[in-house]
Amino acid sequence: MMKLKFKLKLEHSPIFRSFLISYVLVLFIPMLTGFISYYVSSDIIKSSSLEASAMMLNQSRDILDRRMEEVENITRQLSLDQELNYVLNEQVDAEHYDVYAIWKSWRNTTAYSLTNTFLEDFYIYLNNYHAIFTPSGVFVRPDDYFDLYHYQNVDPVQWKQEILGKIHRRETLPSQPFINNGKKTNVITYLQSIPFDSFQHSLGTAVILIDENEIAKMLERIPKQYGGWAYISDKDGHPIARIGIEDAQIKDLNIQELINSKPGNTFVKDKTLLISSKSAYNGWVYVVGLPKSVVMEKSVFIAKVTWTITVSTLLLGIVAALLFAYRNSAPINRIVTVFREQTGQVGYKGKNAFDFLQGNISHLLASQRTLEEELRRQLPLLEDAFVKRLLKGEFDSLQEMRTLMHSLPNLNLKRETGYVAMIRINGYSGLVSKEIIHELNAARLLIKKCLNDLSGVFQLNVTDIDSDKIAILMTLTETANYSEADEMTAGLTELFEQLREYVKEEYRIQMTVAIGGSFQALSDSSRSFEEARGALDYSVLREEAETIWYRDVIKESTTYYYPIDMELRMMNAVKIGELQEVHRIFEQLLEHNFSERQLSAEMVQQLFGELKGTFFKLLQHSPFTDQAVSEGLKPRVEQLQLSTSLDRFRNEVLVLLEAFCSRVLKKKEDSTGEMINKIVSFLDSRYADADLNLYKISTAVELPEKYISQLFKDHTGENLSDYLEKIRIKKATDLLFNSDHTIDEISQYVGYNSAHAFRRAFKRVSGVSPSIYRKTVN
């Protein structure tokens, strides 16, 4: 439910909207390009279709012009035929015909019918004989010919007057119904008087009857291709031939407009594309009508495909834009939310979220630089505070001390063995004034500078203890070659003697130096510091300024040595299970009391009682407070007895200390095991989350991210990310073996953002790709 609310909130966020609008705008750019391409291709298809139809129309026009020109040439040849001219010019006696001349002339004219399909039906009228030649025979009486071949709407008288009686020069009559030996058809009539150049009087007339279907055949390619019609008219608009169109439709056409238009013009009338062409030979107008829907069929198909792809692409693009906008805006929203929660800002400081982030990040970087500068400025103070805590034994554990020491790189602590010395500036005891304080400050600074100049093979860390006292933590440099303690003692004595003499001569400063015993670990430097303090206090009894060693002034003591800081250090080491440190402190305690001192029996008993009290104090602290542990350790503490032998006493105490440390380590290991189990359980339940990261794991188990990563690595021997990858790949192998899901689906099921990342991880862990693994197991 929370996730759903977050998504709804995200979808209404300005960042989400900005990403979504950007992606949608980018999506519309190729779509706009697609629309332009569609309209351009549609125009190309339309123009190419019209150009192809116009080209075929022009081809048909040119062919028909050539055929008509052939007809004209044939009529010209007829007028030049000698036999025919002889008959035409012969003086005819009404009672005596030259039958042989007529037959011979007819035989010559019939051969012309084979040269052109248009001449299949033609006749020649001879004025002098009143006879008609046809390819099939000779009609001596014209009325006999008219009975078989005549125009449906023309009577014999009109036929003789208009066709046979007039002079014709390359005259073409429009299409009209014709009875051809009882069969009805439509013909176009071509008329030419003979001789060819007759103007006042003709000897005969050549009449060529052209079947309209013969002309229509030349145009049928265009209507057949697109399902339209074709039409030819003469220059006056009278029909010559038609195909696929009726007379009523022709009347609706504005033929005169087409006749007067430029060749190749295209008109649209009643969803029909009209293409016209005009013959330069005889002025005929050729008109083709094409259904616009058929011509644009390919364009319509492209439109359907384009719109289908466009709508699908738009829907998929919007879905992708939503996903990308969510994926890219979610991290920015989370960052903005974190900034708002941390800074307490409600709105944006700036125009948008990016300005808001830029401002806050710039502020963070500036703050970081300021902090770094402040840290560099405070670094000497931190180093001084570290040295003070180290000398006073205020660290609870070695881990704390070493962690803090590594964060201070300028500390001169390359080795862990050395001495602690204290310097007192003499002559100022009991004097307190502003001038004295300034004078002591200057003296301390001069002494520190001289120490740095004379340090040589020693690494010195100097800190102020009082206005007239300085403590120096001294260790050897990495290149120092002192192999014996006596050599190091002599070197330190020489160093401080030079220092005392120098400040005395140059600055008239009198000082006393006290040096404690050597330490073998930095955690033991507090003991050397206390020894140096004690030696410095002892030097008050001496009048002269000198260098005093703790071992020279503390010869014997009637009291035992068990300071409170040593007890605290040992208790802290036990509580964190540092057995080696516990051994070292205890051995140091024995050395101080039984090697450097001669204790009486009563003092030994008191020391033993103090140690036993330390154990009882430990029982009051975790992890020794639970009943089961108390019942096991408390009786052992109560039964601890002072042995007569020092070795036996040492062994009994060490065994008990080991028992305490073992309990700490066991509880720490149990706690670690529980934490590891908790982490593993969380990974097993959330491995499918593609956004699973160290932050979510740390939130679930309530531990810091860095600690979780190191803890898991120390306990299991492998990185947390590698373990999560193995879980995912194991789940993936189960799905590959036991399901039919695709590899892309499986990659999402097991928590990968992409199939490519899943394939790489699978091959890295299993040694083969997912597809090969599936084929192998199947």
Domain residue ranges in the chain: 81-216, 412-553, 578-669, 687-777
Kindly tell me if the per-residue pLDDT of 760 is higher than 60.
Answer: yes
Q: Mind listing the pLDDT tens digit for each residue in 128-141?
A: 888 888 888 888 88
Most confident of 227-236, 247-256, 527-536: 527-536
pLDDT at 768 over 70: yes
- Note the pLDDT of residue 484: 59
| Among the listed residues 287, 329, 231, the one whose alpha carbon sits nearest the alpha carbon of residue 18 | 329
Judged against a pLDDT cut of 60, whether residue 613 lies above it is answered with yes
Q: What is the mean pLDDT of residues 399-407?
A: 80
Q: What was the pLDDT predicted at 9?
A: 45
Least confident interval from 227-231, 243-247, 352-356:
352-356
- Among residues 554, 549, 553, 470, the alpha carbon closest in space to that of 515 is found at 549
Angle 766-768-771 from CA coordinates, rounded to 5°:
115
360-392 in b/e form (b: 16+ CB < 10 A) is: beeeeeeeeeeeeeeeeeeeeeebeebbbebbe
Query: pLDDT-based confidence at 538, cuts 50/70/90?
Result: low
**With contact defined as beta carbons under 8 Å apart, do 310 and 289 qualify?**
no
- pLDDT band at residue 256 under the 50/70/90 scheme: low
Token readout for 161 is 């007057």
pLDDT band for position 422 (cuts 50, 70, 90): very high
What tokens does 546 get? 């000198």
pLDDT for the residue numbered 4: 39
Q: pLDDT higher for 322 or 1?
A: 322
Q: What is the pLDDT of residue 81?
A: 77
Q: How far is CA 216 from CA 150, 173, 656, in A?
A: 22, 16, 126
Q: Mean per-residue pLDDT for 351-355?
A: 67
| Max mean pLDDT range (360-364, 581-585, 592-596) | 581-585
Q: Residue 348: pLDDT above 60?
A: no
Q: Which CATH architecture has domain 687-777?
A: Orthogonal Bundle (1.10)
Question: Given pLDDT bands bounded at 50, 70 and 90, which one contains residue 544?
Answer: low
Question: Does the pLDDT of residue 274 top 90, yes or no?
Answer: no
Q: What average pLDDT does the segment 96-101 reach?
A: 72
Other C-beta atoms closer than 10 Å to the C-beta of 75 total 26
Q: Which of 185, 204, 231, 253 is nearest to 61 (CA)?
A: 231
Between the ranges 155-159, 271-275, 650-654, where is the mean pLDDT highest?
155-159
Residue 71 — pLDDT band, cuts 50, 70, 90? Answer: confident
What does DSSP assign to residue 262?
P
Contacts of 697 (CB under 8 A, 6+ apart): 679, 682, 683, 705, 708, 720
597-601, Cβ contacts within 8 angstroms, sequence gap of 24 or more? 597/556, 597/557, 597/560, 597/561, 598/556, 598/557, 599/558, 599/560, 600/558
Can you give the pLDDT at residue 423?
92
User: Residue 28 above 90 pLDDT?
Assistant: no
Predicted confidence at residue 411, as pLDDT, reads 79
pLDDT computed for residue 631 by the predictor: 59
- Taken as a whole, the chain contains a residue count of 778
Cis (ω within 30 of 0) for the bond into 623?
yes
The CATH-assigned architecture of domain 81-216 is 2-Layer Sandwich (3.30)
| pLDDT tens readout for residues 733-745 | 888 888 888 888 8
Query: What integer pLDDT is reported at residue 3 of this predicted model?
Result: 41
Fold for domain 412-553?
A: Alpha-Beta Plaits (3.30.70)
Find which of 307-321, 531-545, 619-633 is predicted with most confidence, using mean pLDDT. Answer: 307-321
DSSP 17-70: HHHHHHHHHHHHHHHHHHHHHHHHHHHHHHHHHHHHHHHHHHHHHHHHHHHHHH
Give the per-residue pLDDT at 1.
Answer: 38
Q: What is the mean pLDDT of the chain?
A: 78
Give the model's pLDDT for residue 121. 77
Give the residue with greater pLDDT, 27 vs 143: 143
> What angle in degrees, to the nearest 10, is found between the helix axes of 646-686 and 564-575?
40
Residue 303 confidence class, pLDDT cut points 50, 70, 90: confident
pLDDT at 5: 42
Question: What confidence score (pLDDT) does residue 8 get?
Answer: 40
267 vs 433, more confident:
433
pLDDT of residue 471: 93
Query: Looking at 24-28, 104-108, 680-684, 703-707, which range is the least confident one?
Result: 703-707
Mean pLDDT for the stretch of residues 224-239: 77
Residue 31 has pLDDT above 70, yes or no: yes
Q: What per-residue confidence (pLDDT) applies to 485? A: 62
Checking if the pLDDT of 84 tops 50, the result is yes
In the prediction, which pLDDT does 683 show?
A: 84
Comparing 175-184, 384-393, 552-561, 578-587, the range with the smallest average pLDDT is 552-561
In which band, very low, low, confident or very high, does the pLDDT at 360 lie, cut at 50, 70 and 90?
confident
CA neighbor of 137 nearest in space, from 118, 124, 150: 124
Identify which of 84-93, 203-212, 238-247, 477-486 has the greatest average pLDDT: 203-212
CB distance 241 to 231 below 8 Å: yes
- Between these two residues, 714 and 503, which has the higher pLDDT value? 503
Amino acid at 579: L
Q: Which residue did the predictor score with more confidence, 573 or 79?
A: 573
Residue 259: pLDDT band with limits 50, 70, 90? low
Among 369-378, 553-562, 669-678, which stretch is predicted with the lowest mean pLDDT? 553-562
